[in-house]
Structures are given as structure tokens and as C-alpha cells.
A and B are shown apart, each in its own frame.
Chain A
Amino acid sequence: MVGVTERFVLLYVALSSAFNISLLLLSESRIDAYVALNILSFYVSYSLTRPSTKSATMVRLIHALLLSIFAFLVGSRVYEVLMR
């Protein structure tokens, strides 16, 4: 039987690989696009499978890490547009 955690890992790895391959085939050279889509695939997989956790602190840390990376990527893009 596949557990919730295994389902999450399968979905997350499959989604992020699919995004990476698609971007590679599109010859995308912006590094932040790869990272942003990876973060998106994490949240899609997480909300669909909801893996059960025993350490809420570690999960909060993961969310904080991913959200701060995402905020930085979006912020730098906005800054770039404003500075044009």
C-alpha cells in the first residue's frame, strides 16, 4: 500500500521533473523559472496529498524557506520591470 508520504514524494518529484523537462525543451534560460515552478509543484503536491507530520516546526521551516525564495524571485522580477 502506498502511504500518504510516498504519494506526496511521487507527485512532487513527478511534477517538478515534468516542469524541468518542459522548460528544458523550451530552451528556457531563466534560472528563476525552474526554481519557481519547483516551488509551485511542491505546493500543488502538498495540498493534494497532505502528508502527515510529527514535527510542525520543520514543516513551518520548509514553508518559510520556499516562500522566502519565491518572494525573492518575484521581488527581483518586479524590481527589474520597474527599473526599465
Chain B
Amino acid sequence: MNKSLLILSSNILVISSLILLYGVVNQEPSLIGVSLSSILTGLVLLMLSFAVSESVINSLIEYLSLTNNALTSVIENVDLLESDFYVVRVDNELRLVMLKRGKPEAAIPGLGVKFGEPYLAIPVENVLEEVIQVNEVTEKVVETNLNSILVDTLGLCGRVAVKLTEKLIRVDLINVNKVLKRFEKMPLDPLKTLAAVATARLIGKDLKLGDSGNAVSGVYYVFEVIE
């Protein structure tokens, strides 16, 4: 649903209905004609608001399905389904690392084996580049910034709530975008990945996903801060 189109069409419908009323009361056929034509415009835009989507979004969704299928197959093949999920800065580059045991340091991008354990490291230095580290890491500052990035810019969800303790950050994504819900169960789903990268960039520290799950009106992720 396109909200701006819905608001626009509702406004057109209300105003043109008032004009129609005025036209009928004062017996003005031209005014009735204009208002009926405007009502039709409002009606078409109202119906269209439930049907339109940008074509580029459709192609990106299909491409996301494809890349997710490829990554899921790789993750399954190297037995990383039950692995730990990290966002770490290695060699001055931010990386997503999935591994079962051990520490994510010195994880070279791609698939690798360290101390006999497979890992998958994905460079994310060019993901959410515009997010800069905050000066003061408080609950309010992190929440405001995450709302600005994940809600206003990326449209991941309707609202973000943050709870901060010394070593843990709980990020709640409320009213998750329906388009992204189908990727929720994937090992590298966009919600988890983008929330983790944005949080790591904001606080300027490495993170490990400690817990995640479904809340009443969305999903939550608990990140452990790695000092």
C-alpha cells in the first residue's frame, strides 16, 4: 500500500465531495461536472494506492531471493546454520562473520577454515556507509539514530525500540515491512543483517548476536558488545 497516495486520494475525495454538495445546492452543472471528475480522480488514486509498487523494488526482491538462496545453500553445505553471528572490524574493514566456535578475528572474506572450523566472512564496509559513530552511546541516542536509518531511510519497519545495558543491546523492530517478512527465517535475512551493521556502526564496536526471536508486533535482536 502506498500511504502518500492514500492520503492524497482521501483529500481529493473529501474536497471534491464538498464541491459537489455546493454545486448541487446551487444548481451549478459545471461545478457538479468538475467535482464528479475530481471524485473519479480520487477514486482511481485510492484504488491505485493499494496496487502500485515501484518496479525496481520488485526486481530487488527477486534478486534478494536469488542471493539468499545461494547464501543459504552455502551456509547449509558448510554446516553453519547453527553458527554465531558477528559484526566485527578486521583489518580496518567491517565484516559479517558466521562461525560455530572460536573468535572471529582474522576472518578473511569468503569461505574459510580456522582451527578446523569453517566460517563465512562477508565484507560490509560499503553497506550503510553514511552511518557515522555517535559521540555518546545512550539508549535515546542509539534509538533515535536507528529510527532515522532503519525506519525513515530504509523502511524496514514502523518503529525501532532500543534497550541498552552495559554489555547488551536489545533492538526491537516493530511492525516489520511485509515485503521483508518472507526473508525473516533466512540465515542472512535483511532485517538481522541491516540492524546489526547499523548498530555496530553507530556504537563503533564489534557485536555478536546473542539472541533473536519474534515479539508481539515484530522481531527483536539482542547484541552482545565485544570489547
CA–CA, A12 to B48, complex, Å? 12
Q: Is the interface of A mostly helix, strand, loop or mixed?
A: helix
Q: Which A residues lie at the B interface, using CB under 8 A?
A: 3-5, 9, 12-13, 16, 19-20, 23-24, 27-35, 37-39, 42, 51-55, 58-59, 61-62, 65-66, 69
Assess whether A52 is in contact with B32, with CB atoms less than 8 Å apart: no
Q: Is the interface of B mostly helix, strand, loop or mixed?
A: helix
CA–CA, A29 to B31, complex, Å? 9
Contacting residues, chain B, for A61 (C-beta < 8 A): 47
Assess whether A27 is in contact with B51, with CB atoms less than 8 Å apart: no
Assess whether B40 is in contact with A69, with CB atoms less than 8 Å apart: yes
Having A31-B29, A52-B58, A66-B40, one finds 12 other A-B pairs with CB under 8 Å, namely A9-B5, A16-B41, A23-B33, A24-B30, A28-B30, A29-B29, A31-B32, A35-B36, A39-B40, A53-B51, A58-B50, A58-B51
Q: Answer whether residue B166 sits at the interface, using C-beta atoms and an 8 A cutoff.
A: no
CA–CA, A62 to B41, complex, Å? 11
Contacting residues, chain A, for B8 (C-beta < 8 A): 9
CA–CA, A39 to B47, complex, Å? 15
Write the nearest CB–CB distance from A31 to chain B, whole angstroms: 4
